[in-house]
Amino acid sequence: MEIECSIEKALNVIGGKWSFLVLRELFEGTKRFGQLQKAISKVSPKALTDTLRHLEDHNVLIRNVYPTVPVTVEYTLTEKGQALHKIIKEMKKWGAYWG
C-alpha cells in the first residue's frame, strides 16, 4: 500500500509554475482572462487556458460566464483557493530572502 504525501497532494492541486502566478493575481480579486494574461506577461494563451482549467477542475477557482457580446468570463478564487494565500505569501518571503 502506497501512502500519498500531503505535499505531493498539494502540488498536484496547485499544478504547474503558472498556477502560482495566476493565484497571485486572483488573491487581489476577480479577474478576466485578458487581465491575467497582461499581468503574467510570459504566459501563452494556451498555457494560461490549461492552468485555469486545471485550477477549476481542482475547485481552486470558479469560472463565471456572462452572456454579453462578446462573452465575458471572470475567474474568482474559491474558499479552497483563498486558503493557499498564506502558503504563497511564505513562498514569496522565502524567494525574496533566498532567491
Cis-peptide, bond into residue 67, ω within 30° of zero: no
pLDDT score for 2: 65
Reported as a single tens digit per residue, the pLDDT across 26-68 is: 999 999 999 999 999 999 999 999 999 999 999 999 999 999 9
pLDDT-derived band at 1 (thresholds 50, 70, 90) equals low
Reported as a single tens digit per residue, the pLDDT across 14-30 is: 988 999 999 999 999 99
pLDDT score for 37: 97
- CA terminus-to-terminus distance, the chain: 38
pLDDT score for 7: 87
Strands (E), 1-99: 31-32, 61-66, 72-77
Read off the pLDDT of each residue in 70-98 and give the average, rounded to a whole number.
94
